[in-house]
Amino acid sequence: MKFTILWTQVTLNQLAAIWMRADDRNAVTDAVTNIDERLKEDTENEGEARDDSERILFESPLGVQFVVEPDDARVTVTAVWSISKRRPPS
């Protein structure tokens, strides 16, 4: 079953701010596309479980928190943040 992916207005605002500050805006755009595709196709196996129906997923350079509503075949992205790759110690 394919799920519908919804981004709240708050998460869209967060995403816009991340995109505006990004050194590589294409990487942010690609990450959103990949997140949407991953969540549409294999929702219940993506990410890491948190409280109740909340899960988190990482797709560099983004992390997202989302809620799965299986009865409605819907996923709502409730938070998005920027992640960075760790640099090796000097």
> Alpha-carbon dihedral of residues 25, 29, 34, 40, nearest 10 degrees?
160
pLDDT score, position 19: 97
Q: For the segment 22-33, what is each residue's pLDDT rounded down to a tens digit?
A: 999 999 999 999
Two tokens, residue 6: 């919804």
Verify cis geometry, omega within 30 degrees of 0, for the bond prior to 88. Answer: no
Judge whether 26 and 88 are in contact, CB under 8 Å: no
What is the pTM for the complete model shown?
Answer: 0.88
Best CA proximity match to 32, nearest among 45, 19, 13: 19
Select 4-82's CATH number: 3.40.50.150, 3.40.190.10, 3.30.2310.20, 3.40.50.2000. Answer: 3.30.2310.20
Rg of the chain over Cα atoms, rounded to whole angstroms, equals 13
* Residue 52 predicted with pLDDT over 80: no
pLDDT band per the 50, 70, 90 thresholds, residue 43 = confident
State how far the Cα of 56 lies from the Cα of 78, in Å rounded to an integer: 10
